[in-house]
Amino acid sequence: MPPRFAFTIHARDGAARCGEIAMQRGTIRTPAFMPVGTAATVKGLRAAEVKAAGADIILGNTYHLMLRPGAERIARLGGLHSFMGWDGPILTDSGGYQVMSLSALTKRSEEGVAFASHLDGSRHLLSPERSIEIQRLLGSDIVMAFDELIALPAAREDMEAAMHRSMRWAARSRAAFDGGGDHAARAAIFGIQQGGLDQRLRAESASLLRAIGFDGYAIGGLAVGEGQEAMFSVLDYATGQLPDDAPRYLMGVGKPDDIVGAVLRGVDMFDCVLPTRSGRNGQAFTHDGPINIRNARMAEDLSRIDADCPCPVCHPATGASRAYLHHLVKSHEMLGAMLMTQHNIGFYQALMAGLRTAITEARLGEFAAGFLARYRGQPAA
């Protein structure tokens, strides 16, 4: 039987690592980008299309699924994998970010977060124990500890208080996970480092998480308004504060150039709604930077979105022209959003494959410099 959870680093190039996470439902190649399947769907794509794009793992959302259709209902129907037709690993977030950002009338306490649903105003309490219970009912393969997230910039005392509460919640999350019987025997749990932009707070958070012990470690509390430069400055030290022999997951990131910069700094896993959300709104990611397919200059452009992209939408013979996509999106045809999303997911997965190959071949610096220069429209060196 495959292992419950085993992380192996096959190659290093500077701080970057290329490896694999072996789990019972499959192997995750790292660095990995996880498409976001918020409500049991990567919006606009069937599960087979997500897998064909190269994704080994997807992300499900605790907050949204607990509200609709309900974690207990999904459990009765056989679990999230069966429900949505995805047979690979699924990571579920804890729901903490959505509680803070989407819910009305939240009240935080040591017990957890009481909130009103953004759907119907119904009242709920999400605690570390309830978050882990929901993730267990969903049948998650990688469970995230429940934490407290605050927007940046923030006062140091606010960052410190949120970090310490998150660490207390991390211990409760670990205990709740360990009490999960068969689920705990086949799944994994990640802790989440907090501390905002403060190096000492992040070091203390990492030390406390190490003492509790987790299968992997997320870098949380970033991509919440601080900007890329500040985020990279944190990653310059945060990855080194976490165990070298465990995966490092940067939550909610991000744009292609964010991902390249984070891989250079030792991050192994990513997730973000950008490729799907942008696709639905007419934005495509390309090697030459993002483009707006709604732009009038696309109306008679018979070229593909990106001639260097291997996705089906960019296939020279059977793909779709920019002109056709422009028409679909401007006409609000659902196929437009589907094809744009398929391209963006394919582009992200091709980027991750390129990063893995470059690390393995010890040429990541060259690959990253070339990608970033072209993506940002800079002249070739």
Residue at 303: amino acid letter: S
Alpha-carbon Rg of the chain, whole angstroms? Answer: 20
Q: Using alpha carbons, select from 3, 4, 6, 48 the residue that is nearest to residue 30.
A: 6
DSSP label at 101? H
Distance CA 61, CA 94 (A): 7
Contacts of 194 (CB under 8 A, 6+ apart): 147, 148, 149, 159, 162, 163, 166, 167, 201, 202, 205, 220, 221
- Backbone phi, then psi, for 341, in 5-degree steps? -70, -40
Q: Which residues of 24-44 are buried (b: 16+ CB within 10 A; e: fewer)?
A: ebebbbbbbbbbbbbebbbbb
Q: How far is CA 116 from CA 62, 104, 165, 357, in A?
A: 15, 5, 22, 46
For the annotated catalytic residues, the residue numbers are 93, 271
Return the half-sphere exposure (C-beta side, CA atoms, 13 A cut-off) of residue 24: 13
H-only helix segments in the chain: 47-52, 62-67, 71-76, 80-84, 96-102, 128-138, 156-178, 182-186, 199-212, 228-241, 256-264, 274-280, 322-330, 334-360, 364-375
Distance CA 286, CA 305 (A): 7
Contacts of 69 (CB under 8 A, 6+ apart): none
Contacts of 36 (CB under 8 A, 6+ apart): 42, 58, 59, 61, 271, 272, 273, 276
